[in-house]
Amino acid sequence: MSPKNAVDRNGLTEQKFLEVYDAGTFEHPSVTVDMLIFTVLNRAQDNYRKLPDKSLQLLLIKRGEHPFLGQWALPGGFVAVSESIEAAARRELYSETNIDNIYMEQLYTWGDVNRDPRTRVISCSYMALVDRSTLNVQAGDDADEAAWFEVGYEVIEEFRRETADGSELERLLRISLSSETDSLSGTVRILESVQGHVRQLKREIVESNGIAFDHVLMIQYAIERLRGKVEYTDIIFNLMPPLFTLSELQRVYEIILGKELLAAAFRRKIADAVTETEEFTKDAGHRPSKLYRYNQLRNFMP
Amino acid sequence: MSPKNAVDRNGLTEQKFLEVYDAGTFEHPSVTVDMLIFTVLNRAQDNYRKLPDKSLQLLLIKRGEHPFLGQWALPGGFVAVSESIEAAARRELYSETNIDNIYMEQLYTWGDVNRDPRTRVISCSYMALVDRSTLNVQAGDDADEAAWFEVGYEVIEEFRRETADGSELERLLRISLSSETDSLSGTVRILESVQGHVRQLKREIVESNGIAFDHVLMIQYAIERLRGKVEYTDIIFNLMPPLFTLSELQRVYEIILGKELLAAAFRRKIADAVTETEEFTKDAGHRPSKLYRYNQLRNFMP
DNA sequence: CTAATAGTGTCTTTAAGACAATATCGT
DNA sequence: ACGATATTGTCTTAAAGACACTATTAG
């Protein structure tokens, strides 16, 4: 801080300045948080004694109000003036899950002028990763209807165009969300352009089916981030129960990355992220599998 | 959107709802953008015929008002209600540099309650990377004094602590900023904790010397992001002029990453990110070097 | 010639990919 | 024994690190 008696160009000391300062001089936007709460769920297999299939799930809330009445939206709410954004996010997260100790990270702040038809709303999106086994409560404290949706993510088109001073890559991504009762979907266009050496990226909604606001964009962004981070951080263990088999872990990697991995290489790679225990799975109808836990002592930054 | 005649739990149609909706019911925070504008500068060498040294530079503005009068701050300003956050960032960027086509990306939104002593201000930080050779204007349209600061970044301490249900890694990072006339510095503490399998990260200012607000945090975050992205994207070419030598490019990598690279391996690695031209450097006092340009056709996503 | 940087060749080390082979359970 | 998954071994391929060697200029 500057010395207490220093004066600014208007001849004010700091104390005088703060007294005079009027925060309400012009109109402010509203600020909200929107939560992307992901989990991994075991789906029972119809088949003989196969391993349970896993799926990535996202929590959505059915809107009981205008706008987008009846559509599904990310859980979220307003940031109070006396509350940090992160505190608001934690509050929302807790109100949906009733759990405290959950991994959460800020993703992106969405600031287009007309993203909310009511008024100017800026929304800061957060991603949370929960181990489903700790979630006994069926989410939703409030009267709102909440449900888990299985997430599908697919690149449906991708092509390059030449432009005046460079080129452009367009990708169309399809997000599909399905709960026990509802089936939603959306398409996002991502435009990456290079002009000279300057690269720019634009993201826009092509189509949104039952998903409120610009939340498809947020969902697409979150999945992209999750995919990216899974490769160079230990973020994935937030989705795992305390004890897990390497095959389970591999499956979670596979559903997030959207591709199959080779068991041998996979095991080599994550070897020092996990610690083996003395325990095994049982009654599986096949060879038991050793249980592992996350190795906390692993170096955070490689 | 829901059908036009649908009614919500208060029996309102969407049109009625929007008419009745009152945006000004409660107090809103202010929202600003803060710009981290980076450049690479050639510093002339005192020595015989050595290559010019390079340094990473950041643009700061000297505050002529309370609070933090006389200290240096990131350029930035309020987001108007009728303007997207990104537009506000572009506007600020243009007003400082007088250039239009600049690489810019959103970094993080800082939402602590007391980050600004005047009132509640939420700030969204953006990073911009400029090729210094296109910047003929000495930055700063407004009356404010602007200056480029050379950026230093150093890990000064790092240790692990065992806690109840896990462990904690504490790192102390020192940021130093020096212009022709001023020398600023700050220390940031980063605390990464693991409890069970849940990891959390906290960032706080230990000390800030001549740097206004919480801008040391923003600077530290930006450098971290820049370092990270330089390794898996082509972001670095935004800092390069249209034509450059591979040695120059390597030096820029080195100052950003804060470590030396081996020339042979480096050349192999970036081989398909660049295209060679027929031109060479001249009058260098040593063997001329071939000039390259950025290869736009490179696959954006590997 | 020398100082300085540019650029290449190649051997070693490490990591990733591919795939076969072996192990162990419930029925 | 069979179906299913678990786990290891090893050969191949690709990338990164290390370092020596050759090339080209100004003075």
Mean pLDDT of chain A: 88
Residue listed under structure tokens 């810019």: B104
Radius of gyration of chain B (CA): 23
Q: Are residues A34 and A93 in the same domain?
A: yes
* Per-residue pLDDT band at B26 (split at 50, 70, 90): low
d(CA B108, CA B85): 12
- Answer whether residue A257 is part of any domain: yes
Predicted confidence at residue A301, as pLDDT, reads 46
Q: Name the token pair of A117.
A: 């038809």
Predicted local confidence at residue B77, as pLDDT: 94
Same domain, A222 and A255: no
At residue B7, does pLDDT exceed 80? no
- B199 versus A37: which is more confidently predicted? A37
Question: B32 pLDDT exceeds 90?
Answer: yes
| pLDDT over 60 at A259, yes or no | yes
What would the mean pLDDT of B60-85 be, rounded to a whole number? 94
In a mutational test of the B interface, the residue from A71, A99, A109, A121 whose CB has the highest number of chain B CBs within 10 Å is A109
Cβ–Cβ under 8 Å, residues B31 and B75: no
pLDDT for A293 beyond 90: yes
In whole angstroms, give the CA distance from residue A93 to residue A108.
17
Nearest CA-CA distance, residue A12 and chain B, Å: 8
The CATH number for A203's domain is: 3.90.79.10
Residues A189 and A260 grouped into a single domain: no
Q: Residue A17 domain-assigned?
A: no
pLDDT at B2: 47
Please list the alpha-helical segments (H only) found in B21-132: 85-97
Cα–Cα distance, A191 to A196 (Å, whole number): 16
Q: Give the end of a domain, one of A187, A206, A232.
A: A232
A142: closest CA among A77, A89, A81, A68? A77
Of A215, A232, A249, at which residue does a domain stop?
A: A232
Residue of B nearest to A201 (CA): B105
- Residues of B with Cβ-Cβ distance to A10 under 8 angstroms: 65
Chain C nucleotides close to protein (CB under 7 A) are: 3-10, 15-20, 23-27
Which residue on chain B is closest to A192 by alpha carbon?
B300
pLDDT of residue B49: 66
Q: Which of these ranges, B3-7, B58-62, B179-183, has the smallest mean pLDDT?
A: B3-7
Pick the residue with more confidence: B226 or A19? B226
Please classify residue B23 by burial: count the beta carbons closer than 10 Å to its beta carbon, then call 0-12 exposed, 13-18 middle and 19+ buried: middle
Question: Range of B266's domain?
Answer: 240-294
Q: Tens digits of per-residue pLDDT, B148-185?
A: 999 999 999 999 998 888 889 999 999 999 999 999 99
Q: Predicted confidence band at A82 (pLDDT cuts at 50, 70, 90)?
A: very high
Distance B266 CA to C5 C1' (A): 16
> In whole numbers, what is the pLDDT of chain B averaged over residues?
88
Q: Do B258 and B141 share a domain, yes or no?
A: no
pLDDT at A1: 46
The answer on A269 and A224 residing in a single domain is no
pLDDT band at A22 (very low <50, low <70, confident <90, very high): low
User: What are the pLDDT digits (tens) for B226-238?
Assistant: 999 999 999 999 9
Please report the pLDDT score of residue B13 as a whole number.
66
B299 located within any domain: no
Contact flag A67-B199 (C-beta cutoff 8 Å) = no
Same domain for B176 and B256, yes or no, is: no
The H-or-E segment that residue A132 falls in is none
Nearest CA in chain B to A110: B85
Q: Summarize pLDDT for A152-183 with one digit per residue, the tens.
A: 999 999 999 988 888 899 999 999 999 999 99
Same domain, A219 and A94: yes
Q: Which residue is nearest to nucleotide D8 (CA to C1')?
A: A264
Q: Which nucleotide is closest, CA of B262 to its C1'?
A: D17
Please count the structural domains in chain B: 2
**Residue where one domain finishes, among candidates A184, A206, A232:** A232
- Reply yes or no on whether the pLDDT at B136 is more than 70: no
Chain A interface, best mutation among B69, B208, B248, B299, by max A CB count within 10 A:
B69
Cβ–Cβ under 8 Å, residues B51 and B247? yes
| B-chain residues near A23 (CB < 8 A) | 30, 118-120
Q: Quick check: B286 CB within 7 A of strand D? A: yes
Same domain, B210 and B254: no
- Band (A18; pLDDT cuts 50, 70, 90): low
Q: Which residue has the higher pLDDT, A82 or B284?
A: A82
Other CB atoms closer than 10 Å to residue B147's CB: what's the count?
A: 19
Least CB–CB distance from B122: residue in A85, A131, A197: A85
Contact A129, A38 (CB under 8 A): yes
Beta carbon pairs, A and B, within 8 Å: 196
How far apart, in whole angstroms, are the C-alpha atoms of residue A296 and residue B100?
Answer: 46
- Has residue B1 got a pLDDT over 50? no
Question: Are B87 and B41 members of one domain?
Answer: yes
- Distance, CA of B266 to C1' of D21, in Å: 18
- B34-63 mean pLDDT: 87
Question: A66 vs B18: CB contact, 8 Å cut-off?
Answer: yes
Q: Is B17 contained in some domain?
A: no
CB contact under 8 A, A84 and B111: yes
Note the pLDDT tens digit of each residue in B283-298. 778 889 999 999 987 7
Is nucleic acid strand D under 7 Å from B287's C-beta?
yes
Residue A258 CA and nucleotide D7 C1' are separated, in Å, by: 24
Q: Is the pLDDT of residue A265 over 70?
A: yes
Q: Which residue, A254, A297, A290, is CA-closest to A272?
A: A297
Residue B265: which CATH number? 1.10.10.10
- Lowest mean pLDDT across A124-128, A136-140, B93-97, B183-187: A136-140
Question: Is A7 among the domain residues?
Answer: no
Q: Which two tokens stand for residue B267?
A: 């050349």
Q: Report residue A66's pLDDT band, with 50, 70 and 90 as the boundaries.
A: confident
Q: Which positions of strand D lie within 7 Å of protein CB atoms?
A: 3-10, 15-20, 23-27
Q: Give me the pLDDT at residue A14, please.
A: 67
Cβ contact (<8 Å) for B70 and A2?
yes
- Does residue B301 register a pLDDT over 50? no
Residue B198 has pLDDT above 90, yes or no: no
Residue A234 CB-density burial (10 A; 0-12 exposed, 13-18 middle, 19+ buried): buried
Determine the pLDDT at residue B125.
Answer: 98
B174 and B252 both lie in a single domain: no
Active-site entry in A27, A92, A96, A145: A145
The per-residue pLDDT for B11 is 63
Asked whether residue A157 falls in the same domain as residue A207, the answer is yes
Cis peptide before B67 (omega within 30 of 0): yes
B214 and B256 housed in the same domain: no
Distance CA B198, CA B191 (A): 14
pTM value surpassing 0.85: yes
Q: Please answer whether residues A91 and A79 qualify as being in contact, where contact means their C-beta atoms are separated by less than 8 angstroms.
A: no
What is the reported pLDDT for A195? 87
